[in-house]
Amino acid sequence: MAKPDFEDSSDGLKISDGLKMIIRRSENKIPKVFICIRLRPKSIEPEKAAIEFKENIERARIVARYAVLNGYDPEATTIYFTQFLNDSFVKERNLGMKIGQMRLTSCNELWCVQDDNELPSQGMKSDIQIAIAHNIPRKIKLFPEIKDWVENYDKTST
């Protein structure tokens, strides 16, 4: 996918031609996509788990950036709620997930982001079930492909 060709619009925002088409088709609304991605570490060893948790947040940031650069408004609750809720506390994790899933119901689609041959985590499965219950289209996106796209975008941008 080619990088967006940004230009000035009448309201001062810079948007790509592709994004203009999406906005027109959806009655002046950018499609909202829910980023469904693993947050909890697989490792149970505290030091490794802490590193993996940070890596998972960074992966979510990469996917959210990819979404924006491709004309979507990402609902990236993995990034947002971890800024002020402690995912290690069950009450706070459950609260963040509940509010995130309420936000999911207003999205146009859900992207289930995984590595090759990776199964969704329990939290991801819960999000997927909410999407199914609300007839929200779901797409599987492979993280390595997204990461490669973003890295290529960075290399070719000026």
> In Å, how far from its chain's centre is CA 38?
10
Say whether pLDDT at 70 is over 70: yes
Average pLDDT over the chain reads 87
Helix extents (H) in the chain: 17-25, 46-69, 77-81, 90-104, 122-133, 143-156
Q: Which residue has the higher pLDDT, 16 or 31?
A: 31
What is the CATH number that goes with domain 30-156?
3.40.50.10400
Q: Identify whether the C-beta of residue 75 lies closer than 8 Å to the C-beta of residue 33.
A: yes
Say whether pLDDT at 14 is over 90: no
